[in-house]
Structures are given as structure tokens and as C-alpha cells.
Homo-oligomer: A and B are copies of this chain.
Amino acid sequence: MKEKGLLIVLSGPSGVGKGTVRKAIFSGDTQFEYSISMTTRKPREGEVDGVDYFFKTREEFEALIAQDKLLEYAEYVGNYYGTPVDYVKETLEAGKDVFLEIEVQGAKQVRDKFPEGLFIFLAPPSLNELQSRIVTRGTETDELIQNRMKEARKEIELMSLYDYVVENDQVEAACDRIKAIVQAEHCRTTRVAPRYQKMLEVE
């Protein structure tokens, strides 16, 4: 009998660098399967359908919602973003670890449906650091920044819903921690012992 894979959910406050960390993890050798998100927003320059996102029309996306085909979804700035559930389930059944990089609202939905998942919160080294990162994007007003900070406070409070907190002080260090967490989780007695139990039962 094949052991099921782990569902790894990386989330965290907006602007903390989830996408950068996720890309760094998948730039090298990795044992994870990346679950590509679905979105109704238009592809940006260089983005490829089926690589960066699955690009869908609003009608297609809403049909998938109606059919309960999304593990999680949310609407941001007028566009839907979500995770196709079939790919996740099939990949886990095949014994492979699936990696999701999603917003905190989505992570909450996944936690409800997959409480056995591995929930990792990517945290800013400090709130000030978070603010400066948002400021250096250069595209936002003071009011927007203040709102983001308020949001970040709320999101840091959300941290308690996660199993692990990884500080994103340096991308490489954050990647190492995430990989260590997954490796450790594969050694959890609750995961390993049943495998040995099964061997005895076969006899």
C-alpha cells in the first residue's frame, strides 16, 4: 500500500514574499509537486497557461465552484483565484507531496477540508520590515500602506492556525526551513508507525 503524500500549504501576509520563496523551492531539485492555481485574471507578459496559472474565463471558474471542484478560492480585485481539487487529491493518493502557495483566506478553507495538511506560515522578520517591503514596491499610497499594516497585524494573529512559522529573513534560509519541516514531518511517528504496523499485518 502506498503512503499518501503530504499536503504542504505555504501562506502568509500579503507582501511577505510567498511567491519568491515558492519559486526558489521549485528552482532546484525538489521532491514536491506544485499545484498550479487557477485564475480569471488576464495573463501578464511572459506568463504561460498551465505553468504560472491555469487561465480561465469567469464562466468556467464559476462552473467549477458550482461543481465543488475547488479546494479553495477567493476573489481579489475583481478576479477569482483558486486551487483545483482533483489534481491535489490524485497527486496525494499517488504518494507525492503537494505544495500550495496561497493567500491566508484560502489556507483557512484548506484547513477546514484537509486538517491533516502541513500548514506553514511565512512571516516577516518584523512588522517594520513588512512595511518597508511594501513601500519599496513604490506603487502604493500611505493610506493603502496603513491598511496593509492593519491587515498584517490581523494576519499575524492568524498565525496560530498554522503548524509552523517560517521567518522570511532570507529566501534561501526560508527554503531550507520549509524543506526541513517537510522532512521532519515524514519522520513523525504518527506517519511512520502505521507503515510498520501494516508490514506486520501483511504477515
Chain A residues within CB distance 8 Å of chain B: 120-121, 123, 126-128, 130-131, 134, 145, 149, 152-153, 156-157, 159-160, 162-167, 176-177, 179-181, 183-185, 187-189, 192-193, 196-197, 199-200, 202-203
- A160–B131 touching, CB < 8 Å: no
- B162–A189 touching, CB < 8 Å: yes
How many angstroms between the C-alpha atoms of A159 and B183 in the bound complex?
18
Q: Give the residues in chain B near A197, CB-CB below 8 Å.
A: 156
Number of copies of this chain in the oligomer?
A: 2
Find the residue from A149, A159, A166, A189 having the highest chain B CB count within 10 A.
A189
Nearest Cβ in chain B — how far from A185, in angstroms? 7
A200 in contact with B160 given A180-B184, A189-B165 (CB within 8 Å): no
How many angstroms between the C-alpha atoms of A165 and B157 in the bound complex?
32
A166 in contact with B187 given A199-B127, A199-B131 (CB within 8 Å): yes
- A202–B164 touching, CB < 8 Å: no
Q: A153-B200, A177-B184 are in contact. List 19 more A-B contacts (CB 8 A).
A: A120-B187, A123-B196, A128-B196, A128-B203, A130-B196, A130-B199, A130-B200, A134-B202, A149-B203, A152-B199, A156-B199, A159-B189, A165-B192, A166-B187, A167-B192, A180-B180, A180-B187, A181-B184, A183-B184
- B183–A177 touching, CB < 8 Å: yes
Which residue of chain B has its CB nearest to the CB of A118? B184
Nearest Cβ in chain B — how far from A181, in angstroms? 4
Q: Give the residues in chain B near A187, CB-CB below 8 Å.
A: 120, 164-166, 177, 180-181
Q: Give the residues in chain B near A165, CB-CB below 8 Å.
A: 187-189, 192-193, 196
- B130–A160 touching, CB < 8 Å: no
